[in-house]
Amino acid sequence: MLKIGPRTLVPPATKLVDDLQINLVGRKHVGREIYSQLLASIQEGRLEPGRRLPPTRELARRLKVARTTVALAYDRLVGEGLLISRVGAGTFVKQPRVLAPVGAGRSESQLSPKQEWLDVPVAFIRTHFANRFEFDFRTGIPDASAFPYATWRRLVARHLHPSTMISGYGDPAGHPALRSAIARHIWLSRGMHVDPEAVTVTNGTQQALDLITKVLIERGDRVAVEDPGYPPAWRLFKAVGARVEPVPLDDEGLTVTALPPDTRLVYVTPSHQFPIGVPMSLERREALLEWAQQANAVIVEDDYDGEFRFGDRPYEPLRAMDPAGRVIYVGSFSKSVLPSLRIGFLIAPAGLTPAIHAAKYLSDWHTMWAVQGALADFIEDGWYARHVRRMRKEYDARHSAVVKGLNTHFRDVMKVAPSAVGLHVCAMATQLSPSEVHAAVSRAVDVGVDELARYSAGRPVSGLLFGYGGIPADRIDEGMSRLRHWFG
């Protein structure tokens, strides 16, 4: 704190407010306007205590008014104790902010959004991921502590260097090096030959689905989804006015015979059905492809965590089995790298690719270029494969610990759904209703776990999902024991 005179104090923060906006267009009493707008900025907290205002001469030049006009406004605020002036140092905001009443100075808007957007539970999502638990079994959370950050920082720094940064905008389809790296990776890991030109880099799976929806779905079109399934997908389809049809599952995956004949698009997770975990059988995959050909429909295949498979031989992707170009393949690096990077991709048939690229351009032009370049190097230099191998081994141990824990602590109330891939295990309730499961989870202390009923687009299914990306293997048994206590 700096002492000014016998009793006057100036906060130590003295950052100059060089982007101060005062609007005098159409105003008659400019001096009054300068005072009023400065007062509002201080009261609302936009001008924080300790901020230094522009010199009166400079602000007068910007506003094209007399310097005396600005000085009078400053002097009035100094007199009211909101500003403090120090010779040779400048004029500073002094008064702690006093927030204006909600709605003050604003008229009530008559605008309202479509109802579909009001039904999206964004508040729940924020709370879900903001909470911290001693034993964290929530899904969708990989182990970020094991990521090779030093290597990643070096790769990002390489692509933020002036010699490698592009001066304008990049290709909406994505960084050429990343598209090629993805195509090679898919060929090696999935046995699926991909032309890099068919790859579109997106901001995660969600944007991939959004682009597909924009290009293919009209209001009123019927879209079929797995039930239970992935809520962000079917909520997106609903939000654009599609008629969402929940389709039940059995031991082989999506029940193809339950698909309505007028379905325009069907969204599936065949490698590791989310959230149950059952893989779609070969016979069911063939039946789905045949159905799509007869119904003139498109299949969206979401392979969201196929990098982590434990023991079982992988099934061939639907797209690799598709001779008619009915399948759009969607992938993501959220589970295998970091969710916060927001890097995903889609591989579309040649006839759709130009429209997909156009939709990406109109949505956000392109995903962050330097991050794309760094990820391309991360893949091509072998770091990605090394990280996946290491995490596959670790997740395999956690997967086994979760299954063992379920069979030990929940055998009388839960049945483990078979699963040999991914970052979570589903346990179907055998005796408890969804409301009873919810009550037990709500009472649990320091244990985070997802309820299966939240993933139902139709009739709620009772059970729990146990993710293991956010909990070490040696903590799993204790966490399950604590959770079981609340089930009585």
Residue ranges covered by each domain of the chain? 2-93, 122-143+386-485, 148-383
pLDDT tens figures, 48-99: 888 888 999 989 898 899 999 999 999 999 888 899 888 888 899 986 655 5
Cα–Cα distance measured from residue 453 to residue 275, given in angstroms and rounded to the nearest whole number: 10
pLDDT per residue over 299-347, tens digit each?
Answer: 999 999 888 887 666 778 999 999 999 999 999 999 999 999 999 999 9
pLDDT of residue 109: 76
Residue 451 has which token pair? 């309820």
Which positions of the chain have pLDDT values less than 70? 1-18, 95-107, 123-130, 311-313
CATH fold of the domain at 148-383: Aspartate Aminotransferase; domain 2 (3.40.640)
Give one DSSP letter per residue of 416-458, joined into a string: EPP--BSSEEEEEESS--HHHHHHHHHH-SSEE-EEGGGG-SS
Which residues, 6 or more positions from 145, have their beta carbon under 8 angstroms from its beta carbon?
none
DSSP string, 15-64: -B--S-----TT-S-HHHHHHHHHHHHHHTTSS-TTPBPPPHHHHHHHHT
Calculate the alpha carbon distances from 187 to 319, 321, 349 in Å.
12, 14, 16
* CA atoms of 12 and 114, how far apart (whole Å): 48
pLDDT of residue 7: 42
**What is the model's pLDDT at position 429?**
96
Contact 57, 66 (CB under 8 A): no
What's the CATH number of domain 122-143+386-485, 3.30.1360.30, 3.30.565.10, 3.40.50.1100, 3.90.1150.10?
3.90.1150.10
Question: Residue 332's beta-bridge partner residues?
Answer: 344
pLDDT of residue 44: 84
The angle formed by the CA atoms of residues 478, 481 and 486, to the nearest 5 degrees, is: 135
Under CATH, to which class is 2-93 assigned? mainly alpha
The reported pLDDT for the residue numbered 365 is: 94
Place of tokens 């969600």: 206
Report the 10 Å Cβ neighbour count for 336: 20
3-state secondary structure of 396: helix
